[in-house]
Amino acid sequence: MDDLGSLVKEARSAEGQRAFTELVRRFQDMAVGFAFTRLGDFQHAEDAAQEAFVLAWEKLPQLEEPLAFGGWLRRIVLTSCDRHTRRKAVPTTELDAARSIRAVDPTPHERLERDERAAATRQAIHELPEQERVAVTLVYLSDRPQKEVAQFLGVSLALVKKRLYSARQRLKGRLQTVSDQLNQSRPSRDDEFTDRVASYLNAKGVCEAAEAGDLGRVREIVEARPKLANANHPEASGRQRDGAIHHAARAGHDAVVKILLDAGADGIGGMFDNFYVRNAVADARDAGHASVVALIEEHFLGRVRNDSDGINALDADGYALLHHAVYHRQTAFAVELLALGADPNVLSDHRHIRPMHLALYKGMGGTPSDRTADGMMAGILMAHGAHYDIWAAAALGDTQTVGSMLAADPSLANHDSGMLRYPGGSAKPLTVAVRGGHIDTVRALLNAGADPNAETLDRWHGVFGYEPEGYEEAGTPLMFAIENEYWDIAHLLLDHHARGDTHAIYAGPSVADVAFGCGNTEVANRVFQAGGRPLIHAYVVGGHDLLLLELIDHASPTGDESQHVHRRDILKEILRWTPRYGNVEMTRKVLEKQPNVTASDWRGYLEDAVRHIASADEWSGQLEVLRLAFANGAIPDIADGNGTALLHQLAAQPPTGNHRARVDLARVLLEAGADIDRVEGQSNTTALGLAVRRNHVALTEFLLEQGAAVSLPDGGVELEPLTWATEEGFAEIADALRARGATA
């Protein structure tokens, strides 16, 4: 550890990523091991440790004492674990379930033996007291000297030795198995973890350098790792493409864009089957950087001029250049491609999409002005020989052409264009006519026999790998009409027997859900009359109290199968949502029916209310519903699998939102009997400790006023609230703790 200080100092420099990667290599085992003692699962532990190293890289300039890096990193890992557990419940899995022992094709017998050893090891470690569990895991997983483990934990070497001795006594007969399993699970057995962190930092670094116009840094990164020219920013949404070229294009850095293009960056690609995805050209165009637009388009035009056979070639996503040009509304680029011989009817190989399909239907988004531009693109394609069938005519609202085609062949009312673009009903002329708001075209198609309820899911069997048995996907036209507030078209579809009980999008909202959330009571009622039964959530959010009361009056408290909505007990389903939205009267009405609601049920309902109350503009209704819940069987201290009770959950929320609401909710919980000093099983701290970590000033002061203990019940690796507040610079909280007698 003698060179730790110099390594940290080097990592702080402008070219310090190499040194920081060495820090990751040195501390990865202890970081992952410590996270494992918190999360109980190696995959989640590695994820949390990776997040911690990324945060440490960003905060490194704030570290005043380089030799304190280990203990400083441990606290960041602790915070990362805390965030990780708040995002989702962490299941306990076998030690080797995630990247632990990388055997090649073990036999069933070997796999069974391995699983048994892993399960025994997990159980043995789990049975140890917290402090001993941490010491054993870090010493045997990291294989680092005990002195370094002590520095990482921020305790004395003697204390680490004492905890190890005690743990070894408890593990008699199992110590060798524990040691072997932990040693085989350490990240440092190969370079995967370190490379993953480095790749994250490099992908982020090249995007930041591109945005800053740092030509030298961008060139250095892509020459060392050419794939990073196309890497998405690691914090970008999964649907969007947001690589270095997008950042450079938005900022107008022509030279950086040129380097990235030469390195293989894709400046025009980016599609998604449902929503519009931007490319670098669109980013540059919207930012007013015409030179960047010209640079990117000329780069690709130059390629096809030198390779005329490649102008219709499909890329790795299955699309030709013309597909991308049309999809991203690159009009001049599309005209150039067509002039060079691009096929206006080129077909993608796995979605059966032609440029005309993309011109007139990009996905579920889009505005009327977008659709006007798309009509112009469709005209350009037709001028160069693109097919103009009933689907295209319906999408454009060309009622005269649609009528002529239907007169010649009425079956065309249900013509399938062959396009596989989500939702599946978009391949039908009726759906695209509705989406465009073309009521005369819609009427012509319906009068000719177009089916507003045509099932479409069969078109997608195998495309995404799902084939839900007995599931029907239909009703896309009615869903589009309601979503776009085309009320006359919605009524017209219902007049032609559009069903209200259809589900237009697999794993998405039903038509009834959309109708009951649209704000148009007349349309919602007609959908209800047509068989639509939305999720109870839509009733509650939409304020359809009369329908809710009707459901309550006819519901059985025993959950009679015939009374289910989406096969859920109606009464319990209403209670699932009323705490969040503070519907006091509806809660009373449900409770009068004496539904079979357990304490565990209440916990789930109230957890949801606690998560949302701090963002409510008016929260008195939610508080009253909580009081009703506690008077009817809810227990304020009932905990989840991580030992987290409602007061802990409240204190662990991010430091945003309505602080008064948070304090009022804490008061209701304490009045109902919540234990103010209860220790949470995951973070091993109290509600006060969690409030301090999140810098909840008002909540911290309230808990102190109510007599919360200023120190944790047990010592160990956890930081005392005052120590945490002091080290994080939460001066107001630190002063409040000292005023109540807290000492560091």
DSSP one-letter string for 365-395: ---HHHHHHHHHHHHHHHHTT----HHHHHH
- In whole angstroms, give the CA distance from residue 325 to residue 335: 9
Tokens describing residue 187: 């990240």
- In the block, which residue shows the tokens 């109510």? 706
Are the CB atoms for 188 and 28 separated by under 8 Å? yes
Q: Give the ranges where 171-306 is alpha helix by DSSP (H).
A: 175-184, 192-212, 215-224, 244-251, 254-262, 280-286, 290-306
CATH architecture, domain 602-744: Alpha Horseshoe (1.25)
Whole-number Cα distances in Å, 14 to 23, 60, 205, 402: 16, 12, 12, 64
Are the CB atoms for 537 and 575 separated by under 8 Å? no
What pLDDT shows up at residue 315? 87
Whole-number Cα distances in Å, 573 to 7, 26, 545, 552, 568: 57, 51, 15, 11, 7
Residue type (1 letter), 450: A
- In the block, which residue shows the tokens 């209670």? 575
Q: Fold for domain 266-373?
A: 1.25.40
Are the CB atoms for 81 and 67 separated by under 8 Å? no
Q: Rg of the chain's alpha carbons, rounded to an integer?
A: 31
Are the CB atoms for 531 and 499 separated by under 8 Å? yes
DSSP one-letter code for 94 = -
Parse the chain into domains and list their residue ranges.
Answer: 4-190, 266-373, 389-509, 602-744
| Strand, helix or coil for residue 565 | strand
Tokens describing residue 16: 């310090």
Mean pLDDT by 10 residues, the chain (744 residues): 79 81 92 87 88 90 88 90 63 34 47 58 73 85 86 88 87 76 81 88 90 92 88 77 92 96 90 78 93 95 86 90 93 95 92 91 65 84 96 96 97 91 86 94 98 72 51 85 95 96 78 86 90 75 71 59 46 83 87 84 86 81 91 88 86 84 94 92 83 92 95 69 84 93 81
Helix H or strand E encompassing 697: helix 697-705
Give one DSSP letter per residue of 727-738, joined into a string. Answer: HHT-HHHHHHHH
User: What global pTM score does this model have?
Assistant: 0.68
Helix H or strand E encompassing 346: none
What pLDDT shows up at residue 117? 59
Are the CB atoms for 42 and 98 separated by under 8 Å? yes
- In whole angstroms, give the CA distance from residue 529 to residue 532: 7
What pLDDT shows up at residue 556? 54
- In whole angstroms, give the CA distance from residue 471 to residue 466: 11
| Strand, helix or coil for residue 93 | coil
- In whole angstroms, give the CA distance from residue 393 to residue 740: 76
What pLDDT shows up at residue 95? 33
**Main-chain dihedrals φ then ψ at residue 73, nearest 5 degrees:** -65, -40
List, in sequence order, every residue forming a beta bridge with 232; answer none if it has no partner. 243
- In whole angstroms, give the CA distance from residue 595 to residue 19: 62
Query: How many helices (H) does the chain have, and how many strands (E)?
Result: 39, 0
Are the CB atoms for 623 and 665 separated by under 8 Å? yes
What pLDDT shows up at residue 280? 93
Tokens describing residue 706: 């109510």
Tokens describing residue 619: 């929260």
Are the CB atoms for 726 and 75 separated by under 8 Å? no
Kindly provide the b/e burial profile for residues 671-697, where b requires at least 16 CB atoms within 10 angstroms of the residue's own CB.
Answer: ebebebebbbebbbbbbbbbbbbbbbb
**CATH superfamily to which 389-509 belongs:** Ankyrin repeat-containing domain (1.25.40.20)
Equal CATH topology for 389-509 and 602-744 = yes
- In whole angstroms, give the CA distance from residue 574 to residue 663: 26
What pLDDT shows up at residue 566? 35
Residues constituting the chain: 744
What pLDDT shows up at residue 288? 94
Are the CB atoms for 718 and 155 separated by under 8 Å? no
Are the CB atoms for 369 and 360 separated by under 8 Å? no
The CATH number corresponding to 4-190 among 3.40.462.10, 3.30.450.20, 1.10.1740.10, 3.50.50.60 equals: 1.10.1740.10
Query: Sign of the CA dihedral 440, 442, 445, 448?
Result: negative
